[in-house]
Chains A and B, each alone.
Chain A
Amino acid sequence: MIVSKHAAELCALLVNDTFGELPSRVIEALLQRGPSRMPQLFERTGLHPPQVRHGLAVLIQHNLAYYNVNKDTKVTTYEANVHSCYNILRIGRIVDLVGQQYGEAEQEVVRNLFSLGYVQIADLAQAFGGHGGGAAAPATNGNGEAHTEVGMNGNSNGNGVVSNKPGSTIQSVFHLHEVIGRLIQFEILEVVDAESFANPETVYAEIEQEYTKKATTAKSLKAKEDLGREKAGMLRAARDRGKVLKRKLDAEDGFPSSKKRKLVNGEANGTPAPSSTKRRVLDSSTVLRINYEKCLVDLRNDRLGRFAADVIGHTTSEVYRALLRLSTTKLSRCKEDSKIDGAYSDMFDDGAKDVTITTLEILESLDPSINLATDIGRVGKSSVDPHIGDHLLQMAVISSTEDAELGLQGGPVKPSRNGHITDDELYSDDEPAPIKASNGQNGSSNGHVKFENVPSTGEQRVELLRRHLFLCESKHRFARYCGTLGEGQWAIDFDVVMEALRQVELDSIIEQMTGRRGLRLTRILRQFGRLDEKVVADKALMKKPTLQGKMAELQKSGFVDVQEVPRDNNRVANRTMFFWYYDADRTCRQLPDRLYKMMLRCLQVLEVERHKVKDILEFVHRTDVKGKEEEVMTPEYYNKYSKHLELERKLLGHTMKLDDIVAVLRDY
C-alpha cells in the first residue's frame, strides 16, 4: 500500500503518542521506505539493534506491523500495517461503542485488549483476576492512550489507562470467558495464530500465484472451474482464519445469553443473565485480538444512525439503529473485497447477503421505552397515501383486493392495516397521543374491523414503527421496503446509503469552503455534467462576475475544472468554448490527504501545547498526585492544568470529527 506523506506522518505521530518514540521511529521508517528487513531498519532508523527490536516487538504486539518469513530464504521482512496505525485514533470510540452496544463487561475486556495488543485468555484472566486493572496495561506507556481517550470519551481526567475498577464488571473467570465468548461470536474479537502476523494482502497474493501456476497445467474447462472454486475457498479460509472459533461457538450455540443481550442493547449491563446455567470455558491458551473490520461495521452503524437523526429525526434514527443492528449481525466488514467475495460467492453462505428484517423483529429488539409516537408530524389521514407500501412494492395489480392478498400471503398485510388504523390516535392533533387504543386489529381479521376498543398498544406500536420505517425509506433510501411478511420486510442497501452520506459530507465541505453559492454551482455541474458558463449562470441565477469568481475559487480548491473546446483550428480564446465540470475523481483523491494533513496539524499543535505545560503534565503524572490534582496543586497551577485539559479535549474532539469524514469517504 502506498501511503501519502501526510498519512505516514499522521500514523507515526499516533504511534508516538500511544506507544512512545521507539516504535514510532521504526514505523516511520517502515511507512516511508516500505517493507524492510532488519539490517535495513537499523540503517533507516539510525537506532541500535536492541532498540529496533524493542520497537518492533511493540509494533507487532499491537498489530501495527506485519512480518513475513520468506519460505525459501528464511529472511524476515517487516511491513507497516497502516490501517491499524490509523485506527489508534478510533480506539476510544470503539471502546465507547462496545460499551453501549454490548455492555460494560465487554467494554472492559475490549479496553484491556487495546492496551495489551494480542493476548492469551489466560493472561487476560490474570490481569482481571489479580490485582486491579492497572496491571492490565503494562505494555503501553499509558500517557498517550489516556489522552486519546480523553478526546473521544469526553470523560477525561487525563490519567488512568484503564478503568480503575475492572473487578467490578468482571466478576469471575467464568464470567470473563462468557464475555470473551460472546465477543468472539460478535466477531469483535478474533483468534490469532502464527499466520495472523502476515499481511493479508501478501497471503492472498501468494494464493493467487499458486493457483495461476496450477491453472496453466489444467486442461479441461471443468478442471479450471474446479481450481477456481478451490482458490475462492482458500482465499476465504485465509481471510476468515480468525473466525473458526466463532463458527464453532455459533454451531454449538455457544454462550446462551448472547442473542438476548444483543437484542436488548444499550440497557445491557455487566450482570450475567442468571438463567445461563451452562458454564462454558474457552481454551485458555487461545490468543485474541481486536477485529477492526467488525468494529468498523459497528462504527458505521453509529454514523448512519447519526445521519438518520440529522436528516429525519431522533426517534426515527433510533428505529433505524435497531434495523442497522439487526442487519449487520452477520456482516463481517464494511467493504467487500471483490477478489474474495466476488468469485463463486454461491459456494459460501455466510448469511450476510440479502438480509431482510421484518418490522416485528425490529419491534422486538427496540428499546421498549422509546416513544414511537414522537418525531413524525401528525396529519389528517386523508393527507397520507394509504397505499405507500403497495406503491413501493410496485404491485402491478392495484385491483388485487385485500382478500386476495390475505389469501396469497396468509396473514394480515399492510394495505388493510393502513386502511383502518385509528386515525384519532395516530393522526390526532397536538398532544402525543396518550395510548388508549380505540381499535385493535386482531391478527387475521381483515380490512374493515369495527373501531372498537380492543386496547392493544402493541398493534399501535407496530403501526407507528412502520411509519418510521417508511420515513427511512423516503429519504436517501435509508432502508428498502422489500416484502410484506412480518408486517413488512426491510433491507439496507449500504452502498446506496453510503453514497448518499458521502455526497452529504462532500457537499458540506464544499459549502464550508466556498459558501452556499459554491455548493450550488457544484451541484448543478454534478447534475448536468459539462456546461457552458452562460448556461450555468442561467441555471444558478447568478451574475456572471460573481459566478466567475466562485468558479475560480472552486477550481482552486479542486472541485471543478474547465475544459476548453476550440471551435476551429486556430484555438484563439474568443473562438473557444469553455465547459465547466465537477471533478469527482480529483475531489475524492485530494480530500483524504487534506484531511490527514489537518488531523496531523491538530495533533502537532497539541504536541506543541503539551510541551508548553510540560512541567505540569509531568507533575500530575506522579503517582502521589494522580487522582487528587486539585488538592495538591496550587490554584494557579491547577487552573492552568484544567485549561490545558480543556484545550486537549477541544483539539482531540475536532480531530475525531475529521476522522468522521475520513471514515465516511474511505472506510465505510
Chain B
Amino acid sequence: MAAVAPATAPVDEDSKIELYKDALYDACRASGTDQRLFSQQELLDLGAIPANDLTVLKSVLQRLNDERLLILCQGPNGLAFKWREQSEAEKYVQKCGDQEQAMVYSVIDDAGSDGIWSQTIIRRLQMHENVFKAAIKHLIQKKLVTPFKSVEHPNKKMYIKASLRPSEKATGGPWFTDQNLDEAFIEALQSVIYDFIKSKSTYRKGSGVTHRQQPKKGVVRGSVEKVKKRAADQMSTDDPSTTKSSAPAVGAPKERDKEKERDKEKDILLPMPAGYLDYPTVSDIAKVLSKTNITKTILSEEDVQKLIDVLIADDLIEEAFITGRKSFRIVRPTQQSLEGWAVKQGTAGDDIEAGPDLYRNGFTHIPCGKCPVFDLCEPGGPVAPSNCEYFQSWLGKE
C-alpha cells in the first residue's frame, strides 16, 4: 500500500487538486465580486478545501494562479486574493504568446481604467525597452490592450486594457470630447445655467413704473399709462407688419422676433428682496440641466458646481446664503437684458464673448485704454497724442 500510494498519488492528487481548484474558484465567485479581497483564512472558511489542509490549499492556489484565475495582491493584513473571470484568464493563457507579454498584460490589467504609462511598465518590470515594444506590439495586435491619451498626461504614451473605457480621471470627465476640452459645450451649459439662475433670481417688471410716486393717483394712473404705452407700441409695430404682408413669408419670423424684442425692452429685471428663499441651488440647477437636451451625459452635482464656480469667477453670478442654504443669483439684475444668454449667443454667431452685460467703467472708452503702443507714447516722440491715429478715428475724423 505504502508503495502503491506514492505511485498513484500524483495522478490522484492532480485530479483532486483540479477538483478542489474548481470548487474553490466557484466558492469564491459565489461569495463576492471580482473586487472582493480574500485572505487565506477566508479562503479556508469557504469550505472547499478538505480538512483545511494548508498544503492542499497551497497547491490549489498555485494552480489557480498559474491559470490566472486568481490574482495575488496586497490586502490590508498581508497577502490576499481576488478571483478573475474565466474569460479574462483565458486571455493570458491563450493570447499571450510568451512570459513577457503576459507580464506586460498583467501590469496593464492591474492599472484598470486609469491606464498606465509605458515608461512605468518598463520600470516596474525592469524590462528592456525593445522587449517591451515587441510585447506590447503583440498585445495590441491581439486586441488585448490599446493605446490611449489621458488628459492628465497629454504627452505620455498610455495603455489600457482594450475591453475597458478610460476612467473620468483619464478622459477629464464630461468636459472632454476626444480628450479635448469642449469649450463650446461648456459655454452652452454655462449659458443655460446662467439663464436659469437669472429667471429664478430676478423679478421681471414693466419699466413703466415711475420711481417718483404721485399722490392720489394709484391704480388709475398706472393703467392709463399702460394703455397709452401699448397704443404707442402698436403704432410702431404697425409698420413692420405692413411691410411684412408685402414681403414673402420668409421674412415673417424675423419680424416677429423684432416685435418681441421691442416688447421686452420696456421691462427690466429687479432684484428679489433680501432673505429671498427661492434662489436656485446646485441640485435645482442639476435637475434643469438633466431635462435639457444639450447633453446626454448625466452631470453630477459636482460637475454642475464646477460650472457654477466658473460663472462665479466670471463675476456673473454670486452665492447667496440664506438660512444656511447655499443658492445662487445673478449680479446686477437691473443692468441685464431680458434676453437670455443662449439667445444672444445664437445671434452673435461664433463670438464666444457674447453673454451677460458686465460692468464697464470708462477705462477702455478712450483709445489709450487698449492702445498697443501705450508705453511708447510720449509727446514729441514718434507716437504722440498730437499725431495719434487712434484718437483721430475715435473722434470721428480720418
| Cβ–Cβ contact A369 & B270, under 8 A | no
A660 lies within 8 A of chain B by Cβ = yes
Residues of B342-377 contacting chain A, CB below 8 A: 353, 355, 358-366, 368-370, 374, 377
Query: Known: A377-B202, A507-B315, A516-B355. Contact between A541 and B175, CB under 8 A?
Result: yes
Stretch in contact with the other chain, from A162-170, A201-209, A400-408, A594-602: A594-602
CB distance from B267 to the nearest CB of A (A): 11
B253 lies within 8 A of chain A by Cβ = no
Stretch in contact with the other chain, from A32-40, A88-96, A238-246, A307-315: A307-315
Contacts of A608 in B (CB 8 A): 385-386
| Cβ–Cβ contact B309 & A379, under 8 A | no
Q: Give B163-190 as 1s and 0s: 1 = Cβ < 8 Å from A's Cβ atoms.
A: 0000000000001000011010010000
| Cβ–Cβ contact A523 & B315, under 8 A | yes
Query: Known: A385-B277, A473-B274, A608-B386. Contact between A602 and B366, CB under 8 A?
Result: yes
Distance in angstroms between the alpha carbons of A511 and B213 in the assembled complex: 38
Of chain A, the residue at the smallest CB distance from B203 is A377
B93 lies within 8 A of chain A by Cβ = no
Contacts of A384 in B (CB 8 A): 273, 275-277
CB distance from B273 to the nearest CB of A (A): 5
CB distance from A665 to the nearest CB of B (A): 11
| Cβ–Cβ contact B271 & A313, under 8 A | yes
Instruction: Sample 22 A-B pairs with CB under 8 A, ordered by A number.
Output: A309-B334, A310-B332, A313-B271, A374-B209, A375-B211, A376-B272, A385-B322, A388-B275, A431-B219, A434-B219, A473-B274, A474-B320, A507-B359, A508-B359, A513-B363, A524-B313, A541-B175, A541-B310, A543-B180, A601-B368, A605-B388, A661-B363
B307 lies within 8 A of chain A by Cβ = yes
| Cβ–Cβ contact B334 & A512, under 8 A | no
CB-contact partner of B211 in A314, A505, A519, A602, under 8 A: A314
A586 lies within 8 A of chain B by Cβ = no
Q: Give B94-129 as 1s and 0s: 1 = Cβ < 8 Å from A's Cβ atoms.
A: 000000000000000000000000000000000000
B58 lies within 8 A of chain A by Cβ = no
Distance in angstroms between the alpha carbons of A99 and B211 in the assembled complex: 22
| Cβ–Cβ contact A377 & B274, under 8 A | no
Q: Give A538-574 as 1s and 0s: 1 = Cβ < 8 Å from B's Cβ atoms.
A: 0111111010000000000000000000000000000
Query: Known: A310-B359, A370-B211, A520-B314. Contact between A513 and B385, CB under 8 A?
Result: no
Q: Interface size on A (CB < 8 Å)?
A: 79
CB-contact partner of A377 in B273, B314, B374, under 8 A: B273
Q: Helix, strand, loop or mixed for chain B's interface? A: mixed
| Cβ–Cβ contact B310 & A508, under 8 A | no
Distance in angstroms between the alpha carbons of A432 and B205 in the assembled complex: 10
Q: Helix, strand, loop or mixed for chain A's interface? A: helix
Q: Give B189-227 as 1s and 0s: 1 = Cβ < 8 Å from A's Cβ atoms.
A: 000000000000011011001111110001100100000
Q: Interface size on B (CB < 8 Å)?
A: 66
Query: Known: A467-B274, A647-B395, A661-B363. Contact between A434 and B218, CB under 8 A?
Result: yes
Q: Give A483-517 as 1s and 0s: 1 = Cβ < 8 Å from B's Cβ atoms.
A: 00000000000000000000011011101110110
A373 lies within 8 A of chain B by Cβ = yes
CB-contact partner of B314 in A312, A382, A435, A516, under 8 A: A516
Of chain B, the residue at the smallest CB distance from A473 is B274
Q: Give A371-399 as 1s and 0s: 1 = Cβ < 8 Å from B's Cβ atoms.
A: 10111111100111110100100000000
* Interface pairs A-B: 3 shortest CB-CB: A377-B203, A657-B362, A434-B218
CB-contact partner of B361 in A377, A508, A524, A539, under 8 A: A508
Distance in angstroms between the alpha carbons of A374 and B271 in the assembled complex: 11
Distance in angstroms between the alpha carbons of A509 and B218 in the assembled complex: 44
Distance in angstroms between the alpha carbons of A61 and B24 in the assembled complex: 106
Contacts of A382 in B (CB 8 A): 277
| Cβ–Cβ contact B353 & A377, under 8 A | no
Distance in angstroms between the alpha carbons of A372 and B175 in the assembled complex: 46
Distance in angstroms between the alpha carbons of A595 and B355 in the assembled complex: 28
Query: Known: A384-B275, A431-B219, A654-B366. Contact between A313 and B334, CB under 8 A?
Result: yes
Contacts of A475 in B (CB 8 A): 271
| Cβ–Cβ contact B273 & A470, under 8 A | yes
B295 lies within 8 A of chain A by Cβ = no
CB-contact partner of A379 in B273, B320, B323, under 8 A: B273
CB distance from A610 to the nearest CB of B (A): 12
B331 lies within 8 A of chain A by Cβ = yes
| Cβ–Cβ contact B386 & A471, under 8 A | no
B278 lies within 8 A of chain A by Cβ = yes
| Cβ–Cβ contact A541 & B359, under 8 A | no
| Cβ–Cβ contact A604 & B212, under 8 A | no
Distance in angstroms between the alpha carbons of A512 and B358 in the assembled complex: 10
A436 lies within 8 A of chain B by Cβ = yes
Distance in angstroms between the alpha carbons of A320 and B226 in the assembled complex: 29
Contacts of A651 in B (CB 8 A): 395
Q: Give B2-31 as 1s and 0s: 1 = Cβ < 8 Å from A's Cβ atoms.
A: 000000000000000000000000000000
CB distance from B359 to the nearest CB of A (A): 5
CB distance from A554 to the nearest CB of B (A): 14
Distance in angstroms between the alpha carbons of A511 and B358 in the assembled complex: 9
Contacts of A471 in B (CB 8 A): 271, 273-274
